[in-house]
Chains A and B, each alone.
Chain A
Amino acid sequence: MALDIITYILIAIGCFFNILAVVGLLRFPDVYTRLHAGTKCTTFGSIFLILAVVIQSINVWVTEGIISSPQSVLTIHALIALVAILLTNPTSAHAMSRAAHRSGVKPAKAVTDDLEKEKT
């Protein structure tokens, strides 16, 4: 019962951060700020949604009293998917921002740009 409530809370947090990523992606003015929204909020939201799946599997174990095989395999594979997301997301964000800066996109409304100063 308590695990059910925890699952609902985790799902609510995950959905909130995902919709926040979408709003930021549509609202911010340039590539770099959009990367902030699109990379960080989706990573955080997916952590909470996958944790909800894991907690729900633990709930099944507690209520039924047996460790059923498909449920545990599902949990372990969901955790591996989470690790894959956590490892690849910052790396691709780094690659995208570097590509954007080298192809000549300037940060909008920037107060300082050290990288541009170093090149000239």
Chain B
Amino acid sequence: MPWLPVAIFLAVCIGLILIRVFLGPTHPDRLVGLDTLNTVVVVSMVILGAAFNEVIYIDVAIVYALLSFVTTLFIAKYIEKGKF
């Protein structure tokens, strides 16, 4: 199964999203780029776990998804109020 080409494709997607994170004219734009990047990273971790048949990669992906959710909420709160 072509898991490794899919993972490379997702890595290219991550590179293209990084353009938006660097360019983004306002802070919410950068945050949107970061959130999209987190989702793609979780999916590529699952794909790599299937490619190498390692369960531990997918466990890392679950924890990464929940932690990135908390990170996004905190940065959004910071943008909303200007302080934590």
Contacts and interface: CB of A to CB of B under 8 A. Distances in A.
Interface of A: 4, 7-8, 11, 14-15, 18-19, 21-22, 25-26, 31, 34-35, 38-39, 42-43, 45-46, 49-50, 53, 56, 70-71, 73-74, 77-78, 80-81, 84-85, 88-89, 91-93, 95-96, 98-100, 102-103, 105
B59 A77 contact: yes
B65 A22 contact: no
Given A25-B17, A50-B43, A88-B66, A74 B76 contact: no
Given A74-B58, A77-B58, A31 B39 contact: no
Given A74-B55, A81-B62, A53 B35 contact: no
A82 B80 CA distance: 29
* Chain A interface, >50% SS class: helix
A8 B28 CA distance: 36
Contacts of B40: 18, 42
Report the interface size class on chain B: 35 or more
A77 B62 contact: yes
B43 A46 contact: yes
Contact of A80 (B32, B62, B73, B80): B62
B55 A53 contact: no
Nearest to A104: B26
Contacts of A11: 2, 6
